[in-house]
Chains A and B, each alone.
Chain A
Amino acid sequence: MSERKVVLVDGTRIPFLKANTSYKNLRSYDLARLALKGLLDKTQLSPHELQQVIAGTVISNFTTSNVARDALLGAGLPYTIPAFTVTMACISANQAITSGIDLIASGQKDVVIAGGTESLSDVPIRYKKKFRRKLMAAQKFTKPWQFLTFLNLKDWLPEIPRVAEFATNRTMGQDCERTVSRIGVTRREQDEFAIRSHHLAAEATEKGFLSQEITPISVEPKFQLVDKDNGFRKDSSMEKLQKLRPAFVKPHGTITAGNASFLTDGAAFVLLMEEEKARALGYEPKAVVKSYAYTAQSPHDELLLGPAYAIPKVLDQANLTLQDIDVFEIHEAFAGQVLAALKCLDSDTFAKENLGRSQKVGEIPMDKVNTWGGSLSIGHPFGATGSRLVTCAANRLIHENKKFALIASCAAGALGHAMIIENCRG
């Protein structure tokens, strides 16, 4: 059986914006349809060639629970294209992309669009369980006085949405505090990493590197043109960050609003094809997919250490070592979380105790990591980030004329993901 190679033709995203800014009137459906439209424009793909759309999302909206399908229809794509939505916390888009890779590799599809969308400005807020039960029961009420049960005003208060781990009831920030303390990452290290991220994103924006992956869009109702991310801070400095108070563990924690990723709205997609199909359609693909891996750890102690597990796994699968990789795109949920993962990879103890390896995986040189900014500065729309990482990694490979890029990410539920892609144009 001849092996079917899966290539990344191109990818794009709409600018990632802080929640409750210019996208505040849009839903995740809108963000997705605008990003899809942008990808079609960018790749000049004939809609008739497209066979599948897959989207990742985390905070699903009841009205568009299969947002991939609704967005493809809203984007005016042919209704004959099947679509599904996946959810896997912060690696939802990664899961969407690898599902697309599998569909192509197994010969079921030749042309797939995958990515994800997230609006944190449009979080569905609902009543508490007790009150929802009352409302359901009320449908069968026959006597007026039965409605008196609604007089309890406390019932009418909504449930406060909270990004907490279901199994442990801890927020991700609390978990990250536990990890950084355990591994030994200081507040200063975290703040330095955050500043680095902001400065690199500002620089990449200024130099136009990021505009390769961004589709400018026009946002109703004022139709303002949005063509840049708005979360990074060019003027970020140690002096300013040190002033911030801990957000999760008070008063002695180390994680602040300054070294954690912020709530973000955005959507991103990539166009995947079987290599020969891509060439037949006249494309010069950007990258070919080498290998990918998923890992899962204990949600109690290792919630955010995914990359430390997934990176060695994917390297082994691809028969490569850390030294073979020139471009790293590592998701930055928290500065502390990235640094903790990097320290684990560089630790013999961790390798022996947790990975069952005799030696550490190795040290990742910082000049290869997230050199165009990361989730701390560009933002982190949960369901879309994975697609941004893949596109950015491919663009960096081409820009630096290097061979291999590695994408790695952690996710709630103590999940991890890593993927290796190879430059097609090198």
Chain B
Amino acid sequence: MSNAESKDVILQKDDGVALLWLDRQGEKVNTLSVKTLDSFSKLLDELEKDPEVKAVVLISKKKDNFIVGADLDVLQTFDKAEDAQKASQDGNDLLTRVSKFPKPFVAAINGTTMGGGLEVALACHYRIVTDHPKTVLALPEVKLGLLPGGGGTQRLPRLIGIQKALGLMLTGRNVYPHKAKKIGLADEIIHPHGLLQAAKNVALKLTKKPHKRKKRMGFMEKALESTPLTKNIIYNTAKKQVMRQTYGNYPAPLKIIDCVKRGMGTNLKSGLQIESKNFGELVVSPESTQLVNLFFAMTDSKKNPQQDKVKKVEKIGMLGAGLMGAGIANISATKDIRVVLKDISMEAANNGFKNISKDIGVKCKKRIYTAFQKDTILSKVFPTDSYKSLRNTDVVIEAVFEDLDLKRKVLAETEAVVRDDCIFASNTSSLPITDIAAEAKHPERVIGMHYFSPVPKMPLLEIITTDKTADWVTATAYDLGVKQGKTVIVVGDGPGFYTTRILAPLMNEAICLLEEGAKIEDIDRNMKLFGYPVGPITLLDEVGLDVAAHVTDVMNDLFSKRGVTGSNVAKQITDAGLKGRKNGKGFYLYPKKKGKKKTINTDIYRFFGGNSRKTFDREEMQLRVALMMVNEAAVCLQDGILKSPRDGDLGAILGLGFPPFRGGPFRYIDTLGASKVVATLESLQEKHGVRFTPAPILQEYAKNNKKFYN
């Protein structure tokens, strides 16, 4: 029957309903590309003329996705804003045809429906979604520095209201089936097996009577969206919130607000034009380019380079049930891995268990898990105070106090009880793995797995291998990290490995600035303006000054060989009893009462030459702090700690909050040009000393005009 040209879309006629099966050839997921759009357009001509066809159902042949979005590879080929704008317009023309199609058009949605995929669904006359666990709807374009360029900024607010639409588009968050139905994004929910029949039924029903839908809005929501004046309040509030979170570093959210604001003030057709123009501009913006690069790098890192050497991990042991240990146990148990959560006392282990339970409980309230799922997850965590329970574990991860002797001790104690194919991983943030493994019976099974706090939220896992670490051990740790939902980088061993090593000079520079008389709030604010999510001084407080002092100590040799001496002020401050957030006193004072804001602890200036403070040039401050990290990242690449610039960028962004829109240290160097970076560093070196000496690799790249990425 079918005479469609492309196999990506297959037409099947069934009792007067044309079923359009989406099935992108050679891929596991459906994406939108120019080719699909062309064949789709021709199909529409055919369907419109065909008297046999009374209604159309759009449905995916894939197991767990409808359409996951536009083909990003294609987006990357656009050099000019006009080209991207044109592509958006073409898409919008086609979708407008769908929305005005004379026969009912039903979207039958099962599985992931993202970005362009959701926009296609929005253009249809009726959306029916399944309650499959993989069914999620989202417009995540903002995360890539883009906006929904297929009518999303126009159709979504018209369907579910301005406030809800802005919320979804500015965060890119997932909407699950029941929520989708509740807010009016979906018209109906059905189980996956009944989807096709239900879609056909409703399509035929719509031929007799068009669907009438009630706007599902609360009273206040409706009131706010009823007059131009109050609508303006919505837009202004949204804008203020965006500015507060991004410091204006990201153009996409502002443009999304602009599209909705102007679009809702006019008709759909003009709205779509505004959207396409904004979309074009964003596609070629440097911010979006870097965010798309980051997305590709993250996707790329999901592939384990040594997948064939992976051993199955079903049960892990966690030594230490503190914040870290409980966090790692949490992300493992939720991914169906059993965890023995060991601490020195049953009370301590139980406390870790409690924290996991609380976290899962919060997710239950948000309806991410059911109460029963919570039971099954918590059943996978076994709190204990005995090594005996580690007997059958595949991997043991230690997160005990950062003390070399203690780590060696727990390693020896673990080796005494585990099977001889069990991996020992250390979640140290700075101690070299080689040192920890020095007395191990099986150093080939020792590896570093450096997680970041809070573990469930932070996306990075830094794996550290020594000369002796076996390949299967690295491969298995990698696999475990990916299973736990982390983006994994593998780096070489040394004090602070990669992430802690590049963070230390940045922190040190912030302290130098304080010693030179800068204000705490200026440093934090300026670095936030530069694009860091948290200022370095706040970060010091969060990490804890005792930890910072310890790290300085561990890293000292490494830097002093290069003639750089780090400040030991962190130790002095710790000795004076200020530890940062953990004891409520650090660079800031943290009031015990909830809801009260932290204030600056001016008393701490006594460690930095007294209370007379001055203002620094913002850009100089930003460059000094940021370039310390960037330069050290280059040294890491040169020393072989890093295997690739990609890992360096992923580590800095996902682990340390390096501004994502700058693409990471190496992308940042490429953007500025190595020669410019070297020149800046040299001038800083003249003023402030050898710590700014450009890494030799940078000098070489500058001389030969090379880039880290081609």
Contacts and interface: CB of A to CB of B under 8 A. Distances in A.
Interface of A: 30, 33, 36-37, 40-41, 44, 46, 73-76, 216, 218, 220, 223, 225, 227
Contacts of A220: 357
B563 to A, nearest CB: 52
20 contacts: A37-B379, A37-B382, A41-B389, A73-B376, A74-B372, A74-B376, A74-B379, A75-B375, A75-B379, A76-B338, A76-B376, A76-B379, A76-B380, A216-B350, A218-B354, A218-B357, A218-B383, A223-B353, A223-B354, A223-B357
B98 to A, nearest CB: 42
Q: Dominant SS at the A interface? A: mixed
A33 B384 contact: no
A46 B392 contact: yes
Contacts of B375: 30, 33, 74-76
B377 interface: yes
Contacts of B392: 44, 46
Interface in B338-389: 338, 340, 346-347, 350-351, 353-354, 357, 372, 375-377, 379-380, 382-384, 389
B391 interface: yes
Contacts of A44: 389, 391-392
B384 A218 contact: no
A225 B379 contact: no
Nearest to A72: B379
A41 B342 CA distance: 12
B347 to A, nearest CB: 6
A223 B346 CA distance: 12
Contact of B382 (A30, A41, A227): A41
B323 to A, nearest CB: 16
Contact of A218 (B353, B376, B377, B391): B353
B350 A76 contact: no
Contacts of A37: 379, 382
Contacts of A33: 375, 379
Contacts of B336: 76
Given A41-B382, A46-B392, A218 B350 contact: yes
Contacts of B357: 218, 220, 223
B374 to A, nearest CB: 9
Interface string B314-355: 100000000000000000000010101000001100110110
A76 B377 CA distance: 7
B28 to A, nearest CB: 26
Interface residues of B, number: 23
A30 B314 CA distance: 24
Nearest to B340: A41
Contacts of A76: 336, 338, 375-377, 379-380
A75 B384 CA distance: 17
A216 B379 contact: no
A223 B379 contact: no
A61 to B, nearest CB: 15
B350 A225 contact: yes
A225 B347 contact: yes
A30 to B, nearest CB: 8
Nearest to B372: A74
B612 to A, nearest CB: 50
A278 B346 CA distance: 29
A125 B366 CA distance: 31
B353 A227 contact: no
Given A218-B357, A223-B353, A227-B346, 19 more contacts: A30-B375, A33-B375, A33-B379, A37-B379, A37-B382, A41-B340, A41-B382, A44-B389, A44-B391, A73-B372, A75-B376, A76-B376, A216-B346, A218-B353, A218-B354, A218-B383, A223-B351, A225-B346, A225-B350
A30 B379 CA distance: 10
A216 B346 CA distance: 9
A44 B340 CA distance: 11
A223 B350 contact: yes
B115 to A, nearest CB: 35
A76 B335 CA distance: 12
Nearest to B338: A76
Contacts of A225: 346-347, 350
A41 B354 CA distance: 18
A223 B359 CA distance: 13
Contacts of B376: 73-76
A356 B391 CA distance: 54
A289 B347 CA distance: 37
Contacts of A41: 340, 382, 384, 389
Interface in B379-405: 379-380, 382-384, 389, 391-392
Nearest to A75: B379
Contacts of B353: 218, 223
A352 to B, nearest CB: 53
B255 to A, nearest CB: 46
Contacts of B314: 46
Nearest to B371: A74
A44 B382 CA distance: 11
Contacts of A218: 350, 353-354, 357, 383
A122 B396 CA distance: 39
A74 B371 CA distance: 10
A288 to B, nearest CB: 24
A283 to B, nearest CB: 12
A76 B374 CA distance: 10
A33 B354 CA distance: 17
A59 B141 CA distance: 55
B357 to A, nearest CB: 7
B155 to A, nearest CB: 42
Per CB-CB distance, the 8 closest pairs between chain A and chain B, nearest first, are A223-B354, A76-B379, A74-B375, A76-B376, A75-B379, A41-B382, A218-B350, A225-B350
B351 to A, nearest CB: 8
A46 B338 CA distance: 11
Contacts of B350: 216, 218, 223, 225
A169 B109 CA distance: 59
